[in-house]
Amino acid sequence: MKRLFGTDGIRGITGQYPLTEEIIFYLGKAISETLNIKKVLVADDSRKGSDWILKILAAGLNHSDIEIDYTGVITTPALSKIVSLDREYQGGIMISASHNPPEFNGIKILNSNGMKLSDELEIEMEKRIFEFLKKCKRPDISEGKIVRVEKKDEYIDFIKSKFEKIKDTKRLVIDCSNGATSFLIEIFYNLGYDVKLVNCNPNGENINKNCGSLFPEKVAEEVRREKAFAGIAFDGDGDRVIMTDESGDILNGDILIYILSEYYAKRGYNAPVIGTIMSNLSLERKVKELGLDFYRTPVGDRYVWEKMVETGSLIGGETSGHIILRDYQITGDGIVTALKILEIAEGQNMKLSELKKKIVLSNQHFVNIEVSKKIPLENLKYVNEMKASAKEKFGNNIRIVIRYSGTEPLLRIMAEGENDKKIEIFIKEYGDKIKNEIKEVSQ
């Protein structure tokens, strides 16, 4: 079991475990011993504290003779694409906590192909870090050598090569979550969109703060006010997107995946579509109605990607808006996804509301429980009781997922099924029991 890495890199509050000075420094050394890297490209998503992490990381990397180029604030998918295209680099490092609040930060490591590392490599890195911590004294952190470079145009050129300028100007409202997409917004202007920006003024302390893909109702309000064609809400590092139609109705990741699946299927696509254990049951059913297989993976876009490669899939993603279009990108890319959805709408001369109405999602009910430590689920009495009780009360007409978040200190419980009201009461009742049990066990 991993102790530092979650589903998307190392993440925490800057300066606190696991983002301590020692761990960040020795991560640099572990990277050098685990990956064949001579030069790495680093970026961040605008958070306060990123400079501190960069300085310590550079010291650890320089100590192992790895050169560091820093390209400033860009999205994680932009960094991924640049590393995959620019053979000057053998890896990338993104300093980001994605959708987490501004007090959080994180470190995502990419290989020479711009892809996230496997579980096996991350476990090996952790092993080396803890060995260094045992053997070595507190590291002497001296400022590492960092070369500032401008690389975002390489990503912008990639987008230009994939998407044509629109024929009829459309009004968009774009919420950048005060994060990395704020620095790439020219892409939409270049393609001919009339854009109203909200939450596109990063100051280091406002990223994801009541805005962006976690709060799509904010952009929805502005869409209605502006009478816009669509709304687009990114997360802090730009690998997620949630959209709204012209009425401000929200299109989450599952709806976007269905729109993409139908579009591809009509053009002869016959490979599977990949979701996760959290994907809506209606998405699975509707994709199968298109004649396509639907597979589920654990939560995390790296697992979605691995299944896509295994099955030859071109479409995969998560309800959260982490969507991979494999004929465009090798990771979730909010900008690519949004542009593809807009391209589909324009090509069919349809509004997003017309595309959205083809799928009606079943209700999913959630309980999120804050935890100080992740107690094995099999050791929690009420988790086991909940599963048994659900089978007894609902039979096969309920789907329950209980999992620890890989990016936040939360236990997440989700339930969906046919008997909506009873399921809502059921999950709340057991959510309270599990919350109290965790509190007692953790004391």
Residue with tokens 């994680």: 76
Instruction: Check if the beta carbon of residue 389 is closer than 8 Å to that of residue 383.
Output: no
Token pair for residue 394? 């609902």
E strand or H helix at 86, and its extent? none
Exposure of 9 in the CB half-sphere (CA atoms within 13 A): 25
Pick from 48, 51, 3, 58: nearest CA to 27: 58
> Tokens 């998503």 appear where?
45
Number of H helices, E strands in the chain: 14, 19
Q: Please compute, for residue 387, the number of CA atoms within 13 A of its CA located in the half-sphere on the CB side.
A: 9
**Cβ contact 75:184 at 8 Å:** yes
Please identify which residue in the block is written with the tokens 């099924």: 417
Angle CA 170–175–177, to nearest 5? 160
What is the C-alpha end-to-end distance of the chain, expressed in Å?
Answer: 23
In 136-271, alpha helices (H): 152-162, 186-190, 216-226, 253-266
Give the span between the Cα atoms of 249 and 219, in whole angstroms.
10
Name the active-site residue from 50, 84, 96, 98. Answer: 98
Task: Give alpha helix (H) positions in 215-252.
Answer: 216-226
Q: Is the peptide bond before 18 cis (omega within 30 degrees of 0)?
A: yes
Residue 89 buriedness (CB in 10 A; 0-12 / 13-18 / 19+): buried
Amino acid at 17: Y
CA-based radius of gyration for the chain: 22
Q: Can 320 be counted among the known catalytic residues?
A: no
Q: Could you tell me the CA-to-CA distances from 10 to 33, 241, 404 in Å, in that order?
A: 18, 22, 15
Q: Active-site positions? A: 98
